[in-house]
Amino acid sequence: MKMEDIAKLAGVSKSAVSLTLNNKPGIGAETREKILRVVEEHGYVHKARGQHEEQAVRTLTFLAFANSGIVLEDYYEQPFFREIIQYIEERCRSNGYSLLFATVDPSRMLEHIEEISEEQRSDGIILLGTNLDHAQVRAMIEHLTTPLVVLDNCYETLPVSFVSINNVMGAYQAGMHLCSLGHRHIGYLASNVPLHNFHERRKGFLHALQMNDLSLEVTFNVAPTILSSQESLKKLLSEYLKQGNAMPTAFFCECDYIAISAIKTLSELGYRIPEDISIVGFDNITEAQIITPQLTTVHVEKQRLAHLAVDTLVQTILSPQQAKTKVVVDTQFITRSSTRAI
């Protein structure tokens, strides 16, 4: 029996099993208990990295700062990260590597980094940079001796390889789409958790509006990880309308989570999507095609990002003295039924 089998039996991801068996944080108590129950029932014996049988195995580690910003404790179950991890695991196997998972508690960052360095369990680390600021990434570079690649973020002044999304381009595409449909009163639904990626998306969207001689109508800040309707957004919209303002005819949302939540919230308020209000998201998670109406969004090349992260890290392991690289992957705009011309 393999770790993948335990994951299937427990109905969780392989990363969740890995974190549990290695006694790492980042797993909810209920999920951890369920995994351990399956392990006990099937007599699975986990072989630690230091055991003789594993010595010859080449491994990479996927490292995340959980409970920080948009990366929640069970981040491996969040749609965007779930897809990324799946593609990373596939690429690791094709390159002859197994994939481990580790989680850093932001409040104990340096302590956890030191533990990871001392364990020396893997040949290289893919650091999920989604929710990390410049100082946090710099600290990782300074304290880790293991080859490192940062995924889903980019700080040009730091001496490490990055693989990131062209956030500016994606949001620009979204803005141009809404303008081409004749929308002139456009709102912006921003994350109430500030992230570098979201800052870049705002920059691209505003540029599209400027190209069409428009300005942003209004910005509302909402939770970025809720797929259900949000009472806080209802209150913000109600207060805005009470002040005598007209509802925007379209909203751009900084991520699909926000967009899906907005569709549900606005529908509960009696607005029809897209007849009354058009909605555009960003990321193209699986749920974007399940929501009604299906979500117009910016497609992020998750498979391409994952493959580049693994390939860049493997090359860094093989040639540690080579120059670091910063790769930006372009987006594609996907038109579905949550937007229409006015």
What's the pLDDT band for 53 if we cut at 50, 70, 90?
A: very low
Q: Which residue has the higher pLDDT, 214 or 14?
A: 214
Block residue for tokens 């897209």: 274
Tens-digit pLDDT profile for residues 136-182: 999 999 988 899 999 999 999 999 999 999 999 999 999 999 999 99
What is the pLDDT at residue 12? 82
Q: Which residue has the higher pLDDT, 121 or 184?
A: 184
Closest CA to 36 of 59, 12, 52, 54: 12
Tens-digit pLDDT profile for residues 302-315: 999 999 999 999 99
Is the predicted pLDDT of residue 253 greater than 60, yes or no? yes
What's the pLDDT band for 10 if we cut at 50, 70, 90?
A: confident
Give dist(CA 299, CA 177) in Å, integer: 14
Is the predicted pLDDT of residue 23 greater than 80, yes or no? no
Average pLDDT over residues 122-142: 94
Is the predicted pLDDT of residue 111 greater than 90, yes or no? no
Tens-digit pLDDT profile for residues 191-234: 999 999 999 999 999 999 999 999 999 999 999 999 999 999 99
Give dist(CA 271, CA 228) in Å, integer: 16
Q: Which residue has the higher pLDDT, 93 or 43?
A: 93
Cα 23 to chain centroid, rounded: 24
Question: Are both 3-165+302-330 and 167-300 of the same fold?
Answer: yes
What is the pLDDT at residue 54? 43
- Quick one: tokens of 9? 């039996």
Give dist(CA 138, CA 254) in Å, integer: 26
What is the pLDDT at residue 1? 58
Q: Which residue has the higher pLDDT, 33 or 131?
A: 131
What is the pLDDT at residue 25? 64
What's the pLDDT band for 48 if we cut at 50, 70, 90?
A: low
Is the predicted pLDDT of residue 116 greater than 80, yes or no? no
Q: Could you say which of 3.40.50.2300, 3.40.50.300, 1.10.8.420, 3.20.20.70 is the CATH number of the domain covering 167-300?
A: 3.40.50.2300
Residue 217 amino acid letter: E
What's the pLDDT band for 31 if we cut at 50, 70, 90?
A: confident
Determine contact, residues 63/116, Cβ cutoff 8 Å. yes
Report phi then psi at 18, rounded to 5.
-60, -45
Sign of dihedral through CA atoms 217, 223, 226, 228? negative
pLDDT, the chain, mean = 91
Tens-digit pLDDT profile for residues 54-95: 445 799 999 999 876 789 888 888 999 999 999 999 999 999
Q: Please give the class, per CATH, of domain 3-165+302-330.
A: alpha beta
What is the pLDDT at residue 46? 63
Long-range contacts of 18-25 (CB under 8 A, 24+ apart): 18/99, 18/100, 18/101, 19/101, 19/102, 19/103, 21/46, 22/46, 22/48, 22/100, 22/101, 22/102, 24/101, 24/102, 24/103, 25/66, 25/103, 25/105
What is the pLDDT at residue 304? 98
Determine contact, residues 320/147, Cβ cutoff 8 Å. yes
3-state SS of 91-121? HHHHCCCEEEEEEECHHHHHHHHHHHHHHCC
- Domain extents in the chain: 3-165+302-330, 167-300
What is the pLDDT at residue 52? 42
Q: How far is CA 88 from CA 47, 184, 206, in A?
A: 22, 41, 33
